[in-house]
Amino acid sequence: MKKIGFLGCGKIGQALLKHVKEEGYGEIVFIEDPYVELSGEPVIRKAEESAYEKAELIVECATADVLKEHIDIILKHADLLMFSVTAFSDAEFAQYADTLCRKYNRRIFLPHGAILGLDGIFDGRKVWKEVSIITTKSSKSLGREDKERTVVYEGPTREACRLYPRNVNVHAAIALAGIGFDKTHSKIISDPAVSTNAHTIQLKGDGINITMNIESFAAGAVTGAYTPHSACGSIDRICKETAGKMFV
């Protein structure tokens, strides 16, 4: 049983909250979210350090900026499962988070989120010569009003994260697992005609050529239909203590 705190509790957070309660993984010690209405839940609009002191695991499902503001208080008291991975495109922040992990002996869990196979990308990190990712999302999801299919960005992943922090967490996760934010190549396409978030990932190394296509219904939202399921699987791997099979 873990004592779990939530930072942000919208689409992903609420799927996880329901799952944690159904599976009996632990006690929800607080949910910090200035806007959400969740009757019967311990929602706090702005949590004090005393709330974080009670947690063993913080589940972040807010935004990269919110995560950055809270990183000291989180890692001082708890391990972290975080969904706003674009935060790590800020090299100074990434280094600071590493320092805090070492100082307090904390773990940061990086979920596979909207895609599959971060573990495999990480396993091959020494052999990839090229890693690229093309994301096509509805213009609405990207906060744009394009009338036709438009390439809105092509270049290093670091800048993609700066421009579209809420939309390219997948790019950030691949960069982190693989060859880094400056060598990973990102392309973002805004298409007013699509209702899915689609990602094509290509990894090339000597004698290795991998392509993955992932498409998930999103209806203009930032988060597609697959991610809440994937998020629940990630928290299973962190919290499950029962005997049986496990994918690693």
The site for ligand NAD (CB under 6 A) is made up of 7-13, 32-36, 61-63, 66, 83-85, 111, 113-114, 166, 169-170, 173, 222-223, 227
Using N-to-C axis directions, what is the helix angle for 64-77 and 91-104, rounded to 10°? Answer: 20
Q: Could you give the C-alpha distances from 171 to 25, 37, 110, in angstroms and in order? A: 30, 31, 13
Query: First CA to last CA across the chain, in angstroms?
Result: 22
Report the nearest approach of ligand NAD to the CB of residue 30 (Å): 11
Nearer to ligand NAD, 87 or 239 (CB): 87
Report the nearest approach of ligand NAD to the CB of residue 206 (Å): 29
Nearer to ligand NAD, 177 or 239 (CB): 177
Nearer to ligand NAD, 127 or 187 (CB): 187
Report the nearest approach of ligand NAD to the CB of residue 178 (Å): 15
Report the nearest approach of ligand NAD to the CB of residue 88 (Å): 11
On whether the CB atoms of residues 196 and 218 are closer than 8 A, the answer is yes
Identity of residue 233: G
Scored b (16 or more CB within 10 A) or e, 193-220 reads ebebbbbebebebeeeeeebebebebee
Nearer to ligand NAD, 33 or 191 (CB): 33
